[in-house]
Structure 1
Amino acid sequence: MFGAGSGEWPSHGLDIPMLKARGWRPVPFSEFVLKIHGRCNLACDYCYVYESADQSWRDRPAAMPTEVLDATAARVAEHVRSHALADVAIVLHGGEPLLAGRAAIAASVDRLRAAVPSSCDVEVSMQTNGVLLTDTMLAMLDEHDVGVSVSLDGDREGHDRHRLRANGRGSHAEVMRGLNRLAGSHRRLYGGLLCTVDLDNDPIRTYEALLETSPPRIDFLLPHGTWAVPPPRRPVNGGGTPYADWLIAVFDRWYRAPRKETGVRLFEEIMNVLLGGQSRSENVGLSPVAMLVVDTDGTLQQVDSLKTSYAGAPETGLTVFDHSFDDALWHPGVVARQIGRAALPGTCAACAVRDVCGGGAYAHRYRAGSGYLNPSVYCPDLLKLIGHIGRTVERDLALAQPSGTR
């Protein structure tokens, strides 16, 4: 039922009947990622949808049909009622979701909100490359209260190294036009920026370029990679921490600024967990991941960055037509992301930052043969970054205490 990789952990080796017998129950889904359009108007060379081992997008509808959307709305409503959820988040995704067009997006949002019980708050947002953020598109998103986060990889040189049109033309100028519109009269919708780390880009110049539109938040993403196909310049046998060094430079610039310029999700989540809080990010800490993806054909998937592991890696074998979301809660891949320390390999057990790192992003743990029961391919970088942030915060907290209490 679960396809390729079924002989690897967690499809093989995770004892779900034992978990049930001991009284463990999954956390209901509260975030639903809808692939309302499965194609893109850019050709980014690092894209996990089009450039990875999984090429299933070729066999799926370009846009989510009405019947899939209606079935999804009904399943969300069913899940809300079954678990008495007070709020859910719906993320319109792709591909490039704005390719669906204003009318289809507006109708989708209306259907989703109308289906969910009035007792539940529905937050709708989208992740876009920003190229199609015209005045008319933003007016529609504003009318329907749809938050907008945009992918931007820094200044023109850094962004256009990877985020290109199919003809090789850079997209930075178009993205900035859309971003300036968003950050202007539609600023209330501005959710923030997503930036993929590129070691060839200067970290400080990248960070300061991202500040140009005063984003409320920046999310730095590590390039996807596995133990079989490691990220660019990430040695799999130790030998350096290039990504930690890049991120530490940004952290120090951000943390020591005389005033808060923006939020940085990765740093804030690490600090939050270090200080005893619960993680709100799937890439930090051990909090249960309660997110489900619905593709354009109605198939239910785990986080779609798993496409970098092997063909079919995100699949659950379930669809919105034939299965409830509760069925997906018991998929081994979903369970593995909700059981905390029990999903970490023995090599993580004695690590001082285990509960902060949480094993790192799930997709980055994959190794053929053992599946996802591995440390992150970024393990040395995460250890160094978390250690640096922890020491910095600890030192400042000590300095902030009255002299007689230390």
Structure 2
Amino acid sequence: MANVTLTNYIQFEVANKEYLFHGLTGNIIELDELSKNMVQTFTEHGERVADTWTLSETSLLQKNPAFTHVLTELEQMEMIQRENDRQQRFSMTPPPPSTTENMPVKTLVFHLVNECNLRCTYCYAGDGEYGAPQKYMSVETADQAIRFLMENSFDEKEVNIVLFGGEPFLNWKTLKYVVEQATVEGEKYGKRVGFSLTTNGSKMSEAQMAFLHQYKVMVSVSMDGTKEAHDRHRPLAGGQGSYDRVSQNVEKLMNIHNSAPIGTRVTVVKDFEKLETSLKHLLSKGFYEVGFAPVTETNMNLALNDEDLKELLRQFEELTDLFVEHALKNEYVGFSNLTNLLKELHIGTNKAYGCGAGLGFFAVSPDGGLFLCHRFNENEEFRMGDIFFGIDQKKRANMLDELHVDRKPTCHSCALKHICSGGCYYEAMERQGDYRAPNAHYCNWMHEWITIGLKAYVKILQHNPTFLEKISGTTKERCVSN
């Protein structure tokens, strides 16, 4: 008999019951006593590579002939693979595109300005300038970028524009033009245009807030929690703290703009504020959701070391417990890191790439250059063409081939292969020195975080499954923040 392999799985426990999550198909199954014993036999006698165990079928069945029935069931679910068996339907990783010529652009990030009025200590963009001379996107360039999106989205009926910087409100004239003109062009091309905007929140007037409300622009304000935590790392260019100004503007924004959810993002640095304190403070400001992102900066005065990451995980688990407690009462706590994970688990995901960069997602610089994503703005290595002459399809195809998860050997046997797919390319470049490498510094952390999310998912699924439908958008009913 040939070898059999139990592939890419995480085993976890909820309420004294054992479960198996299969990362390639997204299946979650409850283990009975027989299947639990079979998994244990794999782990005790098989050969391990990451989250995958291989054992000869003969050895397995010698332990217990009744394992035959479990093997058959798991093989049908593609959680078990036999040696040299390549007949996969659900667990197969999507291959790199055979051609990129007809791949639509769905989202375009408009870098309206390479300038910022804040001097955040951890800014990956170098005060918003991205290592380039100060630039403002002209109305003419914006107009061409809109046409580029309309023409290169092909038959897509929905496209997205992200208004970005620097601080986008420093170029209000072009920002306003983009929203108004893209709406007109969208109607002409038969497309619905969605708008989102990332801002530091310090430069908004009430008239501008009303404009955002009128066009249903989704807004994300960067805030780092309470006044003390925020001002520590997000000063104005003159050195004074920005919290008071941002907080006042957020209060006005909440009163004026209620046509789309307003969220916030916290950058987590060394010696970070207790996350529950930040979360509750920001939700009390009226934000629908709060997301936490570890700093990319490699400066050891700011970057999270292994002990910091352990503490971050512990506090993520505390927030997860809080989320689940309220979810079981049909109340929503806007911890977006968990919300996004639960959506992926509920809907299912089979990613071959860490994100959409280069697939349907590009960034356009103030002078019209196209870049792999907003974090690579002005980095010539990642220039993918421009909005005047189009995408460099040869470079796009080569880069997508390089970035495919199957080009990352350490990801092959990982349970998170189709969820993480190696992670962020910019993070990999900063931390590993190679944008094509997996984010090795986060591997163990991600495993533990996904396991926390799996436990939360099963608890909610068992006691309030309709809640998962709401947060996943598979029902018209929307969660209401607690």
TM range (shorter): 0.7 to 0.9
Q: Give the CA deviation at 1:306.
A: 4.2
Whole-angstrom distance in 1 between the partners of 2:415 and 2:350: 17
Q: Give the CA deviation at 1:255.
A: 2.6
- C-alpha contact 1:302 1:314 (8 A) present in aligned 2: no
Task: Tell me the SS of whatever aligns to 1:125.
Answer: strand
Q: 1:40 to 1:375 in 2, by over 3 A?
A: closer
- TM-score, length of structure 2 as denominator length: 0.67
> Deviations 1:207-232 (Å, cap 9, x if unpaired)?
11111133222222221157x98971
Q: Please tell me the residue identity of whatever aligns with 1:294.
A: V
Whole-angstrom distance in 2 between the partners of 1:289 and 1:260: 36
- C-alpha contact 1:242 1:381 (8 A) present in aligned 2: no
Corresponding pairs, count: 365
1:305 equivalenced with 2:378 (yes/no): no
Q: 1:217 to 1:37 in 2, by over 3 A?
A: same
- C-alpha contact 2:138 2:174 (8 A) present in aligned 1: no
Q: 1:23 to 1:34 in 2, by over 3 A?
A: closer
1:164 equivalenced with 2:235 (yes/no): yes
1:292 corresponds in structure 2 to 362
The structure with the largest alpha-carbon Rg is 2
1:44 equivalenced with 2:120 (yes/no): yes
- TM-score, length of structure 1 as denominator length: 0.78
2:184 to 96, 114, 118: 114
- C-alpha contact 2:104 2:360 (8 A) present in aligned 1: yes
Q: Please tell me the residue identity of whatever aligns with 2:218.
A: G
- C-alpha contact 1:224 1:231 (8 A) present in aligned 2: no
**Structure 1: unaligned runs, 5 residues or longer:** 1-17, 402-406
- C-alpha contact 1:26 1:330 (8 A) present in aligned 2: no
1:253 equivalenced with 2:322 (yes/no): yes
1:214 equivalenced with 2:286 (yes/no): yes
Q: Give the CA deviation at 1:276.
A: 4.8
Whole-angstrom distance in 2 between the partners of 1:369 and 1:92: 29
Q: Give the CA deviation at 1:331.
A: 4.9
Q: 1:255 to 1:89 in 2, by over 3 A?
A: same
- C-alpha contact 1:33 1:91 (8 A) present in aligned 2: yes
Q: Percent identity?
A: 22
Task: Tell me the SS of whatever aligns to 2:291.
Answer: strand
Which range moved further: 120-129 or 386-395? Answer: 386-395
Q: Please tell me the residue identity of whatever aligns with 1:164.
A: P
2:9 corresponds in structure 1 to none
Quick one: higher RCO (CA 8 Å, sep 6+), 1 or 2? 1
2:274 to 199, 202, 205: 202
Whole-angstrom distance in 2 between the partners of 1:354 and 1:375: 12
1:315 equivalenced with 2:420 (yes/no): no
2:226 corresponds in structure 1 to 155
Q: How does 1:12-51 map to 2 (within 5 A)?
A: 27-50=103-126
1:381 equivalenced with 2:445 (yes/no): yes
**Structure 2: unaligned runs, 5 residues or longer:** 1-94, 466-482
Q: Give the CA deviation at 1:164.
A: 0.9
Q: How does 1:5-404 map to 2 (within 5 A)?
A: 27-50=103-126, 56-61=130-135, 63-80=136-153, 83-101=154-172, 103-116=173-186, 117-198=188-269, 199-225=271-297, 232-235=303-306, 241-257=310-326, 258-278=329-349, 290-306=360-376, 312=379, 315-322=382-389, 324-325=390-391, 327=393, 330-334=396-400, 339=404, 341-343=405-407, 345-366=408-429, 370-397=434-461
Which range moved further: 129-138 or 103-112? Answer: 103-112
- C-alpha contact 1:364 1:377 (8 A) present in aligned 2: no
- C-alpha contact 1:218 1:262 (8 A) present in aligned 2: no
